[in-house]
Each structure stands twice: as C-alpha cells, then as structure tokens.
Amino acid sequence: MKNDLFQSLDYREIIKFYSRDLSFSQKELSNWARVHTSYFSRVMKNEADFSSSQLYNIAQALHIEGSKLEYFLILGEIAHSTDIGHKKFLQEKLSEARKKIKQLSSRIKNLSKELSSEEITSYFQEVITTKVHMLLTMTRFRKNLDTIVKELSIDKETLKLELRKLQSLGLITYQDNKVKEVKKMVHLPEEHPISRKNHLLWRLETVHKLGHKIKKNSDYHFSASFSATEVEKEYIKNRFKDFIVEAQQSVSKATGIFNVYHIGFDLY
C-alpha cells in the first residue's frame, strides 16, 4: 500500500493500512482527529466523513507527508464534497498528483537498478557498501582495487566482503579478483524501513567530517532557519526532489569522473 498509495481512491483504505503498519488503535487515532471513538468508527464504516482538519491530524499521526499527504487530503475533500463541479475539479487534481508521482518514479527507475526489499536493506545497511560501489564506477579504482583500500582506509578483507555483497546483489561482475562490470545506481524509496537508518548513517558521516575538519576547498556546507507556510515548505521539498533527479541524469552522462561526493538534505 505505501508504494501504491496513489492507486487508492478511498482515504479509509490508507488509514487502515497505515494504522496497522504503525500499530495505532482507533482510540489513539480518534484522539489525534479530536473526535469521539464512536464517530471515528462510523467514518471507517463509510457512514460519515472526516473533515479536512481531522484528516490532516490523522495524517500527522501516521506520518503521511509530502505528495502523499496532498493526495490523502484531496481524497477527503472529494468524499465530503456535494457539488458536482467541485468534485470534478478535485478529481482532476487527483489525476494530476498521480501523474506527477508516476513521472518522478519513472525517471528515478530508469536511472536505477531494481532490487528486492531485502536486497535494498542489505545494500543500505552500512555506508561502506555505497562508498565501495560508487568508487567502482570509476575506471581508476576498478583497475586497481588497492586504491579503494587506501581511499576508504579499510583492510583488504573488508573490501572483499563488500565486493562479494555487491556481486550477490547483481551490481558488479567480480571474478579473479577483478571487477569487470558495474551497474551505477540503487534507488532507496522514502518509505522503505531502512531509509531512516540510512539517513542517520550519512548524517553521522557529515558530523565526523565537520568535527575532524576534513574539508576540501570545493566542499560546501549550508544551514539555515526560515519562517514559512506549510505550502512553501512543500514547494521547497518538491524543488529539491526535482533537482536530485536532474543531478542524477547529469552525472549519469558525465565522462572522466574522478571522485565520489555526497549530498544530504534536511527540511524540518
């Protein structure tokens, strides 16, 4: 459901799935929605509807965010709208939201190697796997694997373990101590269980670099606080997502690549 949320045409289905997934009881959600449990039950039986503000509060409890939140709230508006013209307008917005997420998913998918959920967990469990994988996309590291040992300050046995992992995931061809083929990218869906841990691990990498003053002149760090509405915050997030896709497309065409870089983004 989390991956197919945009296929749902009833906000109740989404609430049921997320509440099961996060072990929320109806009583807990009714508290978030600020309604009596009996009314909550009536809504879930399709005998009544939540207001937009009640659905928003439920979404906050269930961590439904971004484009998914927008889609979820539009479903709610459609459910309790009584005007035919208004419903048509909302359904067009719904179709546009589904189209947009489909295009974004398609662009990312075209640039990435598809893995199963278990394989994604294995790949993103430790940042060392991503580091080794990215270095292998460059000829100078592929031709001399010892340069990876030096670059990452790891021992040869650790490198061998990572090479075997990448081979088992179908991301490289590793034979006779040589890497002959490398598939460049792995996409980590936002809703995947390992996503939060992966973000944390990379933030720790950043803290380590800043704390030990490991910085090149070309590196860039930026932090800021600002006041804005939820709409403006959402706009910034979507602009950044578009930028990431554009950056992926750009680097996939680059030649003469010489090093690996990391970018992180936090908006809260």
Do 44 and 86 lie in one domain? The reply is yes
Same domain, 125 and 107: no
List, in sequence order, every beta strand (DSSP E) within the chain: 172-175, 178-182
The CA R_g of the chain, rounded to the nearest whole Å, is 23
220 and 165 part of one domain: no
Residue 157 within any structural domain of the chain: yes
CATH of the domain at 99: 1.10.260.40
Would residue 134 count as lying in a domain? yes
3 state DSSP class of 179: strand
Own/partner contacts of 5-8, CB < 8 Å, gap of 24 or more, are 5/68, 5/71, 5/72, 6/68, 6/71, 6/97, 6/98, 6/101, 6/102, 7/98, 8/75
User: Whose CA is closest to 264, among 199, 209, 214?
Assistant: 199
What CA–CA distances, in Å, run from 56 to 11, 63, 77? 11, 10, 11
pTM of the model as a whole: 0.59
Per-residue pLDDT of the chain (268 residues), as tens digits, is 555 677 788 999 999 988 887 888 999 999 999 999 999 999 999 999 999 999 999 998 888 887 788 889 999 999 988 899 999 999 888 888 777 776 666 655 555 577 888 999 999 999 999 999 999 988 899 999 999 999 999 999 999 999 999 999 999 998 888 898 888 778 888 778 898 899 999 999 999 888 887 777 888 888 999 998 877 887 888 788 888 878 877 877 777 777 888 898 999 8
Residue 189 placed within a domain:
no
Q: At what angle do helices 127-135 and 117-124 cross, to 10 degrees?
A: 90
Q: Would strands 178-182 and 172-175 be described as parallel, antiparallel, or unpaired?
A: antiparallel
Instruction: Report the pLDDT value the prediction gives residue 112, as an integer from 0 to 100.
Output: 56
Question: Side chain identity at 253, as an amino acid letter?
Answer: K
| Residue 181 to residue 136: CA distance in whole angstroms | 9
13 and 33 co-located in one domain: yes
Same domain assignment for residues 178 and 203:
no
Residue 4: per-residue pLDDT: 63
Residues 147 and 244 grouped into a single domain: no
Cα separation, 123 vs 169, whole angstroms = 8
Residues 212 and 234 in one domain: yes
Final residue in a domain of this structure, among 77, 111, 145: 111
How many folded domains does the chain comprise? 3
Where in the sequence is the domain holding 22, given as residue range(s)? 5-111
Question: Do 128 and 49 sit in the same domain of this protein?
Answer: no
Those residues with Cβ within 8 angstroms of residue 37's Cβ, 6 or more apart along the chain or in another chain:
26, 27, 30
234 within domain boundaries = yes
Answer yes or no: is 82 within a domain: yes
Q: Who's near 102: CB < 8 A, 6+ residues apart?
A: 6
